[in-house]
């Protein structure tokens, strides 16, 4: 938890309690359904929660915005972002149903009212529009944008343009080149000082 409170301070008691509950909930669920690697569960707040919140460090979503988390897995970045932005609607989609079972149980246990889930591939979602798509290391940028773009609405509620915000690591030069896109690239090292964030990036593709 100290990783979170070191970088973010403006939380209500409710939000702090929700963040604190994540460790036990994910540890318990991970015994039944493996959504986080065994070696990572002890580093939940650094490698999953704080990593997810890098989006909140760079983007302040306006109340009433809607965000789809593509390939949410165990609920990252969607669950930490939903705690951080209680007035923003988050739709967490994944093609693996048992992972969503964990997401739904965690959201219910901590009382998150702004999370919905859908067992579906992103490219199969119809008749839904969102302000932003977020994702964490799910697919190459080219694919992510192909899935995200049809789901994004053009009208902006925020001070920044609707689009895709994704978290990735390593050398991204070839992946970005192959995508034909020109994303804004933010090094997470510039936000968080922990070694874990070296060579980790946030990419923002505007609609």
Query: Quick one: which of 46, 57, 58 has its CA closest to 22?
Result: 46
Rounded Cα–Cα distance for residues 193 and 99 (Å): 30
| Residues of each annotated binding site for S-adenosyl-L-methionine | 71, 76, 122-123, 136
The pLDDT score that the predictor gives to residue 1 is 85
The pLDDT score that the predictor gives to residue 99 is 93
Rounded Cα–Cα distance for residues 42 and 55 (Å): 22
Residues 6+ apart with CB under 8 A from 53: 4, 7, 8, 77, 80, 81, 84
Tokens encoding 83: 């705690």
Query: Quick one: which of 94, 154, 155 has its CA closest to 125?
Result: 94
Residue 63 maps to which CATH number? 3.40.50.150
The string of DSSP codes covering the chain is: -HHHHHH-----HHHHHHHHHHHHHHHHHHHHS--S-TTTGGGHIIIIIIHHHHHHHH--PPTT-EEEEET-TTTTTHHHHHHH-TTSEEEEEES-HHHHHHHHHHHHHHT-SSEEEEES-GGG--S--BSEEEEES-S-HHHHHHHHGGGB-SS--SSS--EEEEEEES--HHHHHHHT---EEEEGGGT--SGGGTTEEEEEEE-
The pLDDT score that the predictor gives to residue 76 is 97
Give the structural domain span for 153.
2-206
Give per-residue pLDDT as tens, 6-42.
999 889 999 999 999 999 999 999 888 888 888 788 8
Q: Assess contact for 138 and 144: CB atoms under 8 A.
A: yes
* Residue in the block written with tokens 């009382």: 111
Q: What are the residue ranges in the chain where pLDDT is below 50? A: none
| Residues of each annotated binding site | 71, 76, 122-123, 136
The pLDDT score that the predictor gives to residue 105 is 96
pTM of the model: 0.96
Total domains in the chain come to 1
The pLDDT score that the predictor gives to residue 2 is 86
The pLDDT score that the predictor gives to residue 203 is 98
Q: Assess contact for 179 and 32: CB atoms under 8 A.
A: no
* Residue in the block written with tokens 């090094």: 187
The pLDDT score that the predictor gives to residue 40 is 83
Rounded Cα–Cα distance for residues 153 and 151 (Å): 7
């Amino acid at each position: 938890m100290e990783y979170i409170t070191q970088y973010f301070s403006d939380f209500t008691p409710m939000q702090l309690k929700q963040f604190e509950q994540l460790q036990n909930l994910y540890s318990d669920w991970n015994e039944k359904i493996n959504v986080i690697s065994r070696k990572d569960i002890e580093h939940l707040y650094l490698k999953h929660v704080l990593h997810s919140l890098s989006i909140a460090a760079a983007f302040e979503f306006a109340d009433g915005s809607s965000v789809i988390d593509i390939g949410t897995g165990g609920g990252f970045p969607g669950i930490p972002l939903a705690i951080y932005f209680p007035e923003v609607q988050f739709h967490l989609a994944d093609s693996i149903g048992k992972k969503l079972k964990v997401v739904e149980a965690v959201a219910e246990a901590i009382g998150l009212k702004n999370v919905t889930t859908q067992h579906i591939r992103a490219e199969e979602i119809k008749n839904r529009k969102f302000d932003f798509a977020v994702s964490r290391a799910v697919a190459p940028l080219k694919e992510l944008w192909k899935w995200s773009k049809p789901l994004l609405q053009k009208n902006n509620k925020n001070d920044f343009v609707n689009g895709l915000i994704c978290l990735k690591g390593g050398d991204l030069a070839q992946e970005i080149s192959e995508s034909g896109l020109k994303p804004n690239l933010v090094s997470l090292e510039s936000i968080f000082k922990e070694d874990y964030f070296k060579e980790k990036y946030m990419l923002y593709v505007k609609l």
